[in-house]
């Protein structure tokens, strides 16, 4: 509760830092924040039009020329959201070392700033994707709201894991480098660019241990089949996300007092 009160007290600082980060991303460019729409629009166009129409990539069992592109985008956009935040966390305290040493403020505001910044970026990209689906007559309808609880589960997990890694990385700098290697393998062990059905049985069992596999499959099910997920299947994921969150805050609480001396 003390951390929540501190966050509320420093809400102006958090909002100003998020706005500053968003502006600095497009500072000096002619089109400014319009690039936040043009970039995802170009990516969606490549996957849905180039892959589906020109390369004629097909998704087994679905008679839709754009199904494969929609399949990729529905998994890739939440994955990008996941990896953008997780890859920022290891250096979140190191990058702000000068600020931490000079200004007295709650350290927990830094993960919150990163989370809000990544969330705004994702909402813009995902909004462009939904508009694209609506224009092409493939909008899934109200079932798209199922993305909300799934994304909450995903982000609780990444916040807990990220805070843990960010705290430890202050003292052991190899953590961030190791994470970059892990994320490359993690992408290909997640069924984003391929359906699980094309894999041999042994590989399927291996991929089932990936906590993101059911989430990505649920995203794809919503967009392609317009079906609600089986929520009972995600009870272990909720428990795992809360456990990761608790572990992250415990490690952060233990190490935060020594961060300034280490930085």
Q: How far apart are CA 202 and CA 199, in angstroms?
A: 8
What's the whole-number mean pLDDT along residues 168-196?
Answer: 84
Q: How far apart are CA 201 and CA 211, in angstroms?
A: 18
| pLDDT reported for residue 216 | 93
| pLDDT reported for residue 242 | 94
Task: Break the chain down into helix, strand, coil percent, rounded to 5.
Answer: 80, 0, 20
Please name the residues in contact with 29: beta carbons below 8 A apart, sequence gap of 6 or more.
35
pLDDT tens readout for residues 238-258: 999 999 999 988 888 888 777
By the 8 A CB rule, do 35 and 128 touch?
no
Task: Inform me whether the pLDDT recorded for 6 exceeds 80.
Answer: no
Q: How far apart are CA 253 and CA 135, in angstroms?
A: 48
In percent, the amount of the chain with pLDDT more than 70 equals 81
Q: How far apart are CA 76 and CA 80, in angstroms?
A: 6
pLDDT tens readout for residues 92-124: 877 777 777 776 767 788 888 888 888 888 888
Round the average pLDDT of the chain to a whole number and report it. Answer: 81
| pLDDT reported for residue 50 | 66
By the 8 A CB rule, do 239 and 247 touch?
no
> Which residue in the block uniquely carries the two structure tokens 């927990």?
108
Is residue 145 very low, low, confident or very high in pLDDT (cuts 50, 70, 90)? very high
Q: How far apart are CA 180 and CA 212, in angstroms?
A: 17
Please name the residues in contact with 179: beta carbons below 8 A apart, sequence gap of 6 or more.
86, 87, 90, 165
| pLDDT reported for residue 155 | 92
Is residue 172 very low, low, confident or very high in pLDDT (cuts 50, 70, 90)? confident
What's the whole-number mean pLDDT along residues 14-29?
Answer: 72
| pLDDT reported for residue 112 | 86
Task: Inform me whether the pLDDT recorded for 28 exceeds 60.
Answer: no
* DSSP-derived secondary structure for 95-145: TTHHHHHHS---TTHHHHHHHHHHHHHHHHHHHHHHHHHHHTT---GGGGG
Task: Inform me whether the pLDDT recorded for 16 exceeds 80.
Answer: yes
Q: How far apart are CA 70 and CA 224, in angstroms?
A: 7
Q: Write out the two tokens for 115.
A: 């989370």
Tell which phi-psi region holds residue 61, choosing left (phi > 0), alpha (psi between -120 and 50) or beta: left
Task: Inform me whether the pLDDT recorded for 153 exceeds 90.
Answer: yes
Please name the residues in contact with 144: beta carbons below 8 A apart, sequence gap of 6 or more.
130, 222, 223
């Amino acid at each position: 509760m003390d951390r929540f009160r501190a966050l509320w007290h420093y809400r102006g600082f958090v909002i100003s830092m998020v706005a500053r980060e968003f502006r600095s991303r497009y500072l000096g460019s002619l089109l400014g924040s319009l690039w936040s729409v043009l970039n995802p629009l170009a990516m969606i166009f490549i996957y849905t039009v180039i892959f589906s129409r020109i390369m004629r990539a097909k998704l087994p069992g679905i008679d839709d020329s754009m199904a494969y592109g929609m399949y990729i985008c529905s998994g890739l956009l939440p994955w990008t959201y996941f990896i953008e935040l997780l890859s920022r966390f290891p250096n979140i305290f190191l990058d702000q070392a000068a600020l931490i040493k000079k200004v007295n403020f709650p350290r927990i505001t830094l993960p919150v700033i990163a989370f809000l910044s990544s969330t705004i970026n994702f909402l813009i990209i995902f909004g462009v994707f939904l508009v694209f689906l609506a224009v092409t007559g493939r909008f899934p309808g109200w079932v798209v709201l199922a993305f909300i609880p799934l994304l909450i589960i995903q982000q609780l997990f990444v916040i807990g894991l990220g805070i843990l890694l960010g705290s430890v990385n202050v003292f052991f700098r190899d953590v961030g480098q190791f994470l970059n290697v892990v994320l490359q393998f993690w992408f290909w062990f997640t069924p984003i660019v391929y359906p699980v059905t094309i894999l041999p049985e042994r590989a399927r069992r291996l991929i089932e241990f990936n906590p993101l596999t059911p989430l990505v499959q649920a995203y794809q099910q919503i967009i392609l089949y317009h079906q609600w997920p089986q929520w009972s299947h995600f009870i272990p994921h909720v428990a795992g996300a809360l456990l990761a969150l608790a572990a992250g805050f415990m490690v952060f609480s233990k190490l935060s007092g020594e961060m300034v001396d280490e930085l």
